[in-house]
Structure 1
Amino acid sequence: MPGDHDLLSPLTLSSRDGVKRERADAARNRQILLEAAGRILRDKGIDALSMDAVAAEAGVGIGTVYRRFGDLQGLAYALIDDQEREFQAAFISGPPPLGPGAPPQERLCAFLRRYVDRLTEQAELMATAENGDARYRSGAYNLQRQHLAMLITQIDPERDGGYLADALLAVLSARLYLHQRAGLEMTVERLNAGLDQLVRGVIG
């Protein structure tokens, strides 16, 4: 059976519109804006993040920020892009159990646990990026879905891999994670244990 690297290749990662080649000066300007947004998040938190705030922090006009990112969701996607790149590289061609070489059920559980790790670090930012149906239109979501569907089909070809992949990703919603952690006071350990139970129920 071919490895993941024969079937999948990294996408845009989190960008909704795909990666566009940038001139060197445009790339530098984009980095300046992302660094400004990062300082706002570090110093003031997610509630202070806005297009106006980024423009003021970077010392540019608001139009520059909108032209670069489109809206706040686009900015949020750009801010989580590096982590998404690392995550994709890990499950496509990294070491097992997340990457190729481990049995598919172990890889499936490793994927879910690593996703929880990502939520622990960036749930508020990911929730901003996921507003509305943006999550499902992103290249990152579709690659994740394709990967999980492949693993589920490897475990049992009779399963509906696409549907079950959507079902598993649904419980990894950043907004649900924030509710579970803050509203329901669930621990990360409980979330991971619940995901393991869910996989056993789905796969058998």
Structure 2
Amino acid sequence: MAQRTERADALRNREAVLAAADALFAASSSPHGVSMDDIAVAAGVGKGTLFRRFGDRAGLIGAVIASRLEPLQQAVREAQDAVGSSPRQRVLDLLDASLRFKIENRHLMSAAEEAGLSSPYRAEHYAWWHEILRAALEQVPGVPGADFTAHALLAAIRADLVAHLIDDQRMTPEALRAALAAYLDNVLGSRSDPAGTRNEA
């Protein structure tokens, strides 16, 4: 019984930490503005609990991103399984979904890119986006090197660039999404795509 209670407490602590970290990063104007101390206080746990559960700041940020990404990843999988859209449109929809996620979570994602990881490209969420985008690009006629093209397109929506364009350059999210769609046309070669139109959701 004691072990079961301990597991329940640990689960509650984990959820409290993730919720606190999520809220703090969302409210912060800088990825550097949220410390482990801040998160511990907001979650009502000891700082040692954070390090035992998540290892370090990078591990905690990764866990928060994973929890935020889970419903989006499910929606993306379902959309990829749906029929009716062309391969080119699927690539645009994937990039647009990733961009919207980064716009909404740009401080959290910027923190991930600067959290002491050896490379943002080794992050689990990056590997997932790259793989699903690469697979979609392979279905677009005339795309050479889908693997590299996927990396290049994702580089165009790095979180630090998204934050700079929106927070410093005052670019609107709508303008940024339109710019990304135009950039994709340049990369893939602009041509008509009668099988799909851009989703505005």
Length-normalised TM-score, structure 2: 0.78
Q: Does 1:78 pair with 2:63?
A: yes
The answer on whether the counterparts of 2:25 and 2:107 sit within 8 Å (CA) in structure 1 is: no
Q: Match of 2:96, as an amino acid?
A: R
Aligned position for 1:33: 17
In structure 2, the CA distance between the partners of 1:100 and 1:144, relative to structure 1 (3 Å rule), is farther
Matches of 2:28 and 2:128, distance apart in 1: 33
In structure 2, the CA distance between the partners of 1:157 and 1:133, relative to structure 1 (3 Å rule), is farther
Task: State which drifts further: 38-47 or 101-110.
Answer: 38-47
User: Aligned-pair distance for 1:168?
Assistant: 0.4
Q: Mark the structure with the bigger radius of gyration.
A: 2
Give unpaired runs (5+ residues) of structure 1. Answer: 1-22
The answer on whether the counterparts of 1:108 and 1:148 sit within 8 Å (CA) in structure 2 is: yes
- Identical counterparts, % of pairs: 34
In structure 2, the CA distance between the partners of 1:176 and 1:99, relative to structure 1 (3 Å rule), is farther
The answer on whether the counterparts of 1:34 and 1:79 sit within 8 Å (CA) in structure 2 is: yes
The answer on whether the counterparts of 2:137 and 2:143 sit within 8 Å (CA) in structure 1 is: no
Matches of 1:66 and 1:164, distance apart in 2: 37
Q: Match of 2:184, as an amino acid?
A: V
In structure 2, the CA distance between the partners of 1:43 and 1:190, relative to structure 1 (3 Å rule), is closer
In structure 2, the CA distance between the partners of 1:42 and 1:144, relative to structure 1 (3 Å rule), is closer
Aligned position for 2:78: 93
In structure 2, the CA distance between the partners of 1:41 and 1:164, relative to structure 1 (3 Å rule), is closer
Q: Does 1:160 pair with 2:145?
A: yes
The answer on whether the counterparts of 1:74 and 1:129 sit within 8 Å (CA) in structure 2 is: no
Aligned position for 1:113: 96
Q: Match of 1:100, as an amino acid?
A: A
RMSD value, Cα? 2.3
Aligned position for 2:132: 147
User: Aligned-pair distance for 1:37?
Assistant: 2.6
In structure 2, the CA distance between the partners of 1:44 and 1:91, relative to structure 1 (3 Å rule), is closer
User: Aligned-pair distance for 1:174?
Assistant: 0.6
Q: Match of 1:150, as an amino acid?
A: A
Aligned position for 1:123: 106
Matches of 2:22 and 2:135, distance apart in 1: 35
Aligned position for 2:4: none
Task: State which drifts further: 136-145 or 67-76.
Answer: 67-76
Length-normalised TM-score, structure 1: 0.77
Q: Does 1:54 pair with 2:54?
A: no
In structure 2, the CA distance between the partners of 1:37 and 1:189, relative to structure 1 (3 Å rule), is closer
User: Aligned-pair distance for 1:190?
Assistant: 2.2
Q: Match of 1:120, as an amino acid?
A: I
Task: State which drifts further: 41-50 or 186-195.
Answer: 41-50
In structure 2, the CA distance between the partners of 1:109 and 1:25, relative to structure 1 (3 Å rule), is same
Q: Does 1:64 pair with 2:46?
A: no
Give unpaired runs (5+ residues) of structure 2. Answer: 1-6, 190-201
